[in-house]
Structure 1
Amino acid sequence: MKYAFLFSSLILLFLLSSAGYAQQKLTGTIQDSKGPLEFANVLIKEKGIGGITDSLGRFELINLEPGQYTLQVSLIGYSTYSRRISVPFAGQELSITLDQLDSSLDEVVVSGTMQEVSRLDSPVPVEVYKAAFFKTNPTPSLFESLQNVNGVRPQINCNVCNTGDIHINGLEGPYTMILIDGMPIVSGLATVYGLTGIPQSLIDRIEVVKGPASTLYGSEAVGGLINVITKRPELAPSVSVDAFASGWGEVNADLGWRSKLGKSVYSLSGINVFWYDNPIDNNGDGFTDLTLQKRMSLFQKFEIQRKAGRIFTLAGRYVNENRWGGQVNWTESDRGGDQIYGESILTERWEAFGTYQLPVQQLINFQFSANGHKQDSYYGETFYLADQTIAFGQLTWIKEAGKHNLLFGSAYRYTYYDDNTPATSSEGGSRNFPSEIHLPGVFLQDEIRFSPKHSLLAGLRYDYNSVHGGILSPRLNYKWVSADKSTVFRASAGNGFRVANVFTEDHAALTGAREVVFTEELNPERSWNANLNLVKKLYTDQGNYLGLDGAVFYTYFTNRIVPDYESNPNQIIYANLDGSAVSKGISLNLDAVWNSGFKILAGATLMDVSLEEGGEKVRQLLTERFSGVWTIGYSFQNLGLTLDYTGNVYSPMRLPLLGELDDRPEFSPWWSIQNIQLTKSFGKKWEVYGGVKNLLNFTPPANSIARAFDPFDRGVEFDPSGNVISTPANPNALTFDPTYVFAPNQGIRGFLGLRFTLD
């Protein structure tokens, strides 16, 4: 399988038809009830030939061979139009009227099937959150923005450095894949850092798929995936500015602009800057409540217009960040010292990704991405230096064959990881052995449309990992839609896998030289998932809308790789979990809009996530049984004012204690973060917004950091095995530990912002 990617790619190219172009053309006009529509996408699906309408709503498709084809017209904010046509077209010039969407069900999505389809037509449940959703609670990063998405929770893992991950349905961050424009950009070492610095003014929407998606996306898509879709350059505003500041001294600014290079290249550029340099210690533990950060991110995307409307996009991003947290009197001169404790993290990251449609008759796309991540960090005295590079390439071929919509693909992923810890060295640290993993794979997907109401999606993927060997991932999805399209039912089952990076990222635990020990041949982590989903749209005679989206989910997780730091203080012991983990539950989303200007988007998830080993079942750490989110808005249309009230609520979670004598509560309390915002529009270009975050002023207990007064453990005594001894000065046998964390330490604060948009 070493050459699976190249071999399968050659097979795909060999199967292409090479028939010459016939000089037939198709012309027409796209409009809505108000007039012509510019930038509508017109596509001949079987051939991948398409174009975009001009300012008069006109389009022209050339080089069409005689035959029967499916013409598809799509534009964000409108229902997708589809009809069968014959070429040559016997009638007059086409005139097509698009209907505006009355809900989000017909929005175009790509994450479920790796093809652009309406959300209604997708056999895979996909939740879509538009840019306007995130404006109701502006935040300096996507990591924080996701706090109001049902079943998705940003989890802070450290009270000092404030790093974290994204949980989906209770499964931890390493099992959530993060994509940008469909490419696996954010993973491994950069799971949290990659979600910062994306200019939010350039984001079109975010798509969320819950449950395994490894059949299409491979490793890490075990719990689900989050796909960040950036705006198309030709549709983006000419200039967009969004900047705000908070009462804590945080300043965040986004700048985006569109340009055109020559006749055929559209450009979208963006800059994000975040600055916070104000140490605050409201809980009185001597440590910063919020990590100080200085971050700059540059984003650039090109879209090249090609003949027959073929796709060619190229994008890149660069992020540089300097963050630190620790004792409030820490300065740069204390970095790496043993007198004043601080966690200082310097991050430099680059990304490149794009899509190129091959110049052939068939619809074949080559997608590619690469990223590099360098980290230079000190955790007190512990130095951590890491370097990671990931390269990815994927070739897909979409083929319509009667009732079948076929997707063939091949992919290759290369991962390089190196650090300065014993995890990537041997022989007493005298030799360095970076991790290099090759992961070629092939996949096939067939969507069978039995009738307008019934369809079935079947997929199968085979990957060959250079360390673990072959991995097979199947999935099956069924969809039924009512005749009036007001009800959609989906049933799905699938398999996910993750090849864990045993060269641990838990670098703060490596406080001394440790030997890496494998007690067995490690197998990839795997999960099996079943999901039932029901969507119902309801309308009133007054034109009000109510949407319900409910799901029942069950995920069975095996082969979990757990590093053991406790059995022997001189070793890191790796082994597959001798047991299983289960995530099961139900969720419900409510979307309601009234003509009066009142709207509600709310959701709730009830789940049970547990871990079983040796006949003993325990709740997974830092996982709630119940969560709820809401976004409630009202528009005072005559005044140009919008009021938004957002929030979330979580039930108690089991927290990590340091031993039987640890007197901190084992479970968190019920807690909620709530926010309110008022936005005033001045014409179509200007907006001023402001409000209050964390209205209830909720913060975790002040003793969340164990022994905050002794961060270097000078007053801690250990036995010969490395275990903490209870002493009169340390009766609870604690060490300095910042991992007892379930909620942000930031209390109530005001914020004020300004937006400017020039179309």
Structure 2
Amino acid sequence: MKLIKFSFVVLLLCTVNNIMGANIPNEHDKKTGNITGEVIDEDGEHLPFASVSLVGTTLGATTDQTGHYLLKFIPSGEVTLEVQYLGYKPQTKVINVEALKSAQVNFQLEKDALGLDEIVVTGDRTQRNRQEATTIVSTISPEIFKITQSATFGEGLNFTPGLRLENDCQNCGFSQVRMNGMEGPYSQILINSRPIFSGLAGVYGLELIPSNMIDRVEVVRGGGSALYGSNAIAGTINVILKDPIGNTYEAGFSSSFIGIGLDDSGDVAQDYDAHFNTSLVSDDHKTGLAIYGFWRDREPFDANNDTFSEIAELKNTTVGSRLYHRFGNRSKVTADFFNIKENRRGGDKFDYVEHEAGIAESVKHDILTGALSYDQFFREKDLWSVYVSGQSVKRDSYYGAEQSLADYGNTEDFTYTIGTQYSAHFHGVGELTFGTEFVKSELEDTKLGYLDYENAVIKDGAIESIPHTDNTTVADQESTTFGAFAQYEMTFNKFKASAGVRYDHYSIKDNTDKSDEKSGDVFSPRLTLKYDPVDYIQLRVSYSQGYRAPQIFDEDLHIETSGAKKIIHKNDPDLEQETSQSFMASLDFNKEIGNAFVNFLVEGFYTKLDDAFANEFSAPDADGVVTYTRINAEGGAKVQGLNMELNVVPSSQLNFKAGFTIQKSEYEEEQELGEKKFFRTPDNYGYMTLNYTPTKALGVAISGNYTGSMLVPYNEEVLKESDSFFDLGLKINYDIKINGAKLRLFTGMKNIFNSYQEDFDTGIDRDPAYIYGPMQPRTVYFSIKIGNNL
């Protein structure tokens, strides 16, 4: 807590410095002028809410709904003006601002059909043109969420090379994303580039974050460990939240029907969600505020009519905001806040309290996340940032069967990050980025024990509270990581090279067992080379080392329950950190062929894991508890394969994108059930999207996901090979103009051919982890949106 207070003091001092002594222009400043203009596309259409900024400063504005902008109180002299708009190439102009005068600067933007010139930040922790970056950064844009009707962050991850979202439990819907064949904990999930998404939040987190709060998601496969630390062996997934862009609003409602037309299932399950977004920006563009909200109510779905759910019941309410304020020409403070409240439950007897069900896996989340950052420009374009962010997770849970009263629990987790970073630009020489970061996580997991209904407090004929007995602390642990990183990038004609290193010191303590403390010092180097033989081909190769520390908890806090047994997870006392060496090579082809823009990416990856984590199964104890113990596998493991992506844009009305992964993941020695291969990991999988807009008002989108066969354990005794699946979806939308806004109507179907698992285990003694394939069966949905920025 002292570090958090110190960080807030630093930010406060920066703020006071700007207020008391900053160069803040106003209407009485005789050394400033104004800039006005319009932003249009190649067809002469005005572009609303385009971003207009002065390079090397925090000054900026957005165009209004008519495509016009106004920048006030710009310091006189030569300035560089830059315009950005999603789907178009950025454009810059150098102009001279005269005191007490207005300059008119108009822009006509060229379409960027392949997204090559979009600005990304994740690959090197600094802003980069995607095509010029030494690291491949894949972007999941808002358009992907719209095309695929993805209500949450997790649903959109299937439409990026090398990523695959999977459901791992029939009861509670625990999900994870695999990147390049490696399971979820090998990927670092970031919020606005900060590693505050804790292991506890990550257990169900992919369904917790609504897509309407996301500006975009940036994915870096492999090689991220040198800059982002632990858990970035497979790569990083950076969730970037929406900024205030102008005076905009949007609201929508969607209704889905899960399991339409299935013969063997129970009733069709309904899934409702609603959202809103609005942003406000002051006339002088010094202050902006974005507010968003999301609500969801999903009924449980029973696929095989055995009264037990295959898709969990879910209720989610999310509210959040993002605020910025510019104190002067070259400084800016940004604050983020969001709160997620979620209830989910799987099993049976949903109208009863948990302990009266045959099986119930139930969790109630209350997640508070906040962040504060301060940015200051120095010299021409040097940028210094200092930040603090934190996340509090409170979770009430029940994992029990056969009317057990002793399986209620409570978990509290607090994770925070404090850091600073400086990026220095040297003309004709290169760019240096360096910084430090401190991350701490504190977690306490308590089993509440027996609920004493005889002494329940009754008020107005209803139970107000129920006392409990026999509280037991299951875990009281904390982890700290101090990291320091540096990276230098150089350009030589057609070559570009970046070399980086990160040092981490981590410590993991178990306060219930003072002798159980793990710590380590890790150096993670990274080297990337990029060569452009011609302007439409980029060749990249990279080498990196990474590590994964013994976690306090990740999926350990997901507990699978059946009527016959309960499965818990723990670490072996002798568990050592896992280390990796990764090699990647890619060819990125981007060219206009005839009238079509074509992008083809092929990316090879190879990762060697030493002391790789694996599981050992115990026999059930007297209470039916089976323990999965995480150990270091003998001989390590190897993950290798190819990611491919094709993007073809034959016209402004049609866009086709497809990706496919061929990979192999296996341990060097036989592990559980005498098998070398990673479980639940298909050797091939892929996706496709096709978006067609025959008119400005009408849009048709087709999306699909292919999942190859995989090995899935059943009851920890048998390995079964699954079928392959192809999940095809169709969406149609129509826009109606209403004054200065649009009304957008949607309808569509997911998993049209119902490519869905057919052999779910049944009954109270089922194996809830025996689940694979697409996340949901055939689903029909209807949606409506209204807003001035659709």
TM-score bracket for this pair, using the shorter chain length:
0.7 to 0.9
Separation in structure 2 between the aligned mates of residue 197 and residue 574 of structure 1, nearest angstrom? 27
Counterpart AA for 2:272: V
Q: What residue in structure 1 maps to residue 580 of structure 2?
A: 527
**Alpha-carbon deviation of 1:527?**
1.8
Q: What residue in structure 1 maps to residue 370 of structure 2?
A: 352
**Alpha-carbon deviation of 1:390?**
0.3
Relative to structure 1, is the Cα distance of residues 265 and 378 closer, same or farther in structure 2, using a 3 angstrom cutoff?
same
Relative to structure 1, is the Cα distance of residues 352 and 120 closer, same or farther in structure 2, using a 3 angstrom cutoff?
same
Separation in structure 2 between the aligned mates of residue 49 and residue 267 of structure 1, nearest angstrom? 16
**1:587 match: secondary structure:** strand
Relative to structure 1, is the Cα distance of residues 265 and 172 closer, same or farther in structure 2, using a 3 angstrom cutoff?
same
2:126 matched to 1:100? no
**Alpha-carbon deviation of 1:161?**
1.0
Relative to structure 1, is the Cα distance of residues 601 and 504 closer, same or farther in structure 2, using a 3 angstrom cutoff?
closer
- Equivalent residues in 2 for 1:56-75, closer than 5 Å: 56-59=68-71, 74-75=84-85
Q: What residue in structure 2 maps to residue 577 of structure 1?
A: 633
Q: What residue in structure 2 maps to residue 589 of structure 1?
A: 645
2:319 matched to 1:269? no
Separation in structure 2 between the aligned mates of residue 691 and residue 36 of structure 1, nearest angstrom? 29
Q: What residue in structure 2 maps to residue 725 of structure 1?
A: none
Q: What CA deviation, in whole Å up to 9, does each residue of 1:240-274 have, x standing for no partner?
A: 43534335311011111123479643111111111
Counterpart AA for 1:407: T
**Alpha-carbon deviation of 1:41?**
4.0
Separation in structure 2 between the aligned mates of residue 318 and residue 612 of structure 1, nearest angstrom? 44
**Alpha-carbon deviation of 1:544?**
2.3
2:259 matched to 1:208? no
Preserved CA contact (<8 Å) 1:183 1:353 = no
- Equivalent residues in 2 for 1:222-241, closer than 5 Å: 222-235=233-246, 237-241=248-252
- Equivalent residues in 2 for 1:116-135, closer than 5 Å: 116-135=127-146
- Equivalent residues in 2 for 1:6-155, closer than 5 Å: 31-32=39-40, 34=44, 40-45=51-56, 48=57, 50-52=59-61, 56-59=68-71, 74-81=84-91, 95=105, 97=107, 99-103=109-113, 104-155=115-166
Counterpart AA for 1:436: E
Which of 608, 614, 618 in structure 1 is aligned with 2:664? 608
Which of 603, 612, 637 in structure 2 is aligned with 1:551? 603
Which of 409, 423, 447 in structure 1 is aligned with 2:489? 447
Separation in structure 1 between the aligned mates of residue 247 and residue 270 of structure 2, nearest angstrom? 30
Query: Runs ≥4 in structure 1, deviation > 6 angstroms?
Result: 18-27, 35-38, 68-71, 83-89, 428-432, 509-517, 614-617
Separation in structure 1 between the aligned mates of residue 676 and residue 33 of structure 2, nearest angstrom? 64
Relative to structure 1, is the Cα distance of residues 555 and 88 closer, same or farther in structure 2, using a 3 angstrom cutoff?
farther
Gaps of 5+ in 1: 423-427, 712-735
How many pairs were matched up? 703
Q: What residue in structure 2 maps to residue 692 of structure 1?
A: 749
Separation in structure 2 between the aligned mates of residue 406 and residue 517 of structure 1, nearest angstrom? 39
**Alpha-carbon deviation of 1:177?**
1.7
**1:459 match: secondary structure:** strand
**Alpha-carbon deviation of 1:358?**
4.1
Which of 521, 526, 535 in structure 2 is aligned with 1:475? 526
Q: What residue in structure 2 maps to residue 643 of structure 1?
A: 700
> What is the RMSD of the two structures over their aligned residues, measured on CA atoms?
3.7
Q: What residue in structure 1 maps to residue 437 of structure 2?
A: 411
Relative to structure 1, is the Cα distance of residues 94 and 751 closer, same or farther in structure 2, using a 3 angstrom cutoff?
closer
2:427 matched to 1:397? no
Separation in structure 1 between the aligned mates of residue 698 and residue 472 of structure 2, nearest angstrom? 65
**Alpha-carbon deviation of 1:36?**
9.1
**Alpha-carbon deviation of 1:696?**
1.1
Which of 355, 359, 363 in structure 1 is aligned with 2:383? 363
TM-score (norm 2): 0.80
Separation in structure 2 between the aligned mates of residue 249 and residue 598 of structure 1, nearest angstrom? 33
Q: What residue in structure 2 maps to residue 728 of structure 1?
A: none
Counterpart AA for 2:496: S
Separation in structure 2 between the aligned mates of residue 397 and residue 199 of structure 1, nearest angstrom? 32
Separation in structure 2 between the aligned mates of residue 620 and residue 236 of structure 1, nearest angstrom? 50
Q: What CA deviation, in whole Å up to 9, does each residue of 1:48-70 have, x standing for no partner?
A: 55433676545468669x9x998
Which of 730, 740, 743 in structure 1 is aligned with 2:773? 743
Counterpart AA for 1:631: T
Preserved CA contact (<8 Å) 2:35 2:74 = no
Counterpart AA for 1:627: Y
Relative to structure 1, is the Cα distance of residues 496 and 343 closer, same or farther in structure 2, using a 3 angstrom cutoff?
same
Q: What's the % identity of the aligned pairs?
A: 24
Counterpart AA for 2:256: A
Counterpart AA for 1:332: Y
**Alpha-carbon deviation of 1:474?**
0.9
**1:624 match: secondary structure:** coil
Q: Which moved more, 1:509-518 or 1:379-388?
A: 509-518
Q: Which moved more, 1:296-305 or 1:651-660?
A: 651-660
Q: Which moved more, 1:468-477 or 1:561-570?
A: 561-570
Separation in structure 2 between the aligned mates of residue 621 and residue 269 of structure 1, nearest angstrom? 42
Relative to structure 1, is the Cα distance of residues 366 and 41 closer, same or farther in structure 2, using a 3 angstrom cutoff?
farther
2:547 matched to 1:497? yes
Preserved CA contact (<8 Å) 1:587 1:606 = yes
Q: What CA deviation, in whole Å up to 9, does each residue of 1:281-328 have, x standing for no partner?
A: 24133311321111111111112133115232111111111111112x
Q: Which moved more, 1:109-118 or 1:509-518?
A: 509-518
Preserved CA contact (<8 Å) 1:131 1:203 = yes
Preserved CA contact (<8 Å) 2:150 2:211 = no
Which of 715, 725, 729 in structure 2 is aligned with 1:671? 725
Relative to structure 1, is the Cα distance of residues 431 and 76 closer, same or farther in structure 2, using a 3 angstrom cutoff?
closer
Preserved CA contact (<8 Å) 1:128 1:206 = yes
Q: What residue in structure 2 maps to residue 331 of structure 1?
A: 351
Q: What residue in structure 2 maps to residue 456 of structure 1?
A: 497
**1:208 match: secondary structure:** strand
Q: What residue in structure 2 maps to residue 249 of structure 1?
A: 270
Preserved CA contact (<8 Å) 2:582 2:605 = yes
Preserved CA contact (<8 Å) 1:700 1:745 = no
**1:189 match: secondary structure:** helix
Q: What residue in structure 1 maps to residue 515 of structure 2?
A: none
Q: What CA deviation, in whole Å up to 9, does each residue of 1:577-622 have, x standing for no partner?
A: 2221211111211111122723211111111111223698611000
Preserved CA contact (<8 Å) 2:155 2:165 = yes
Relative to structure 1, is the Cα distance of residues 198 and 168 closer, same or farther in structure 2, using a 3 angstrom cutoff?
same
**Alpha-carbon deviation of 1:686?**
1.1
Separation in structure 2 between the aligned mates of residue 756 and residue 310 of structure 1, nearest angstrom? 35
Gaps of 5+ in 2: 25-29, 259-268, 449-469, 508-517
**Alpha-carbon deviation of 1:383?**
3.4
TM-score (norm 1): 0.84
**1:348 match: secondary structure:** strand
Preserved CA contact (<8 Å) 1:197 1:272 = no
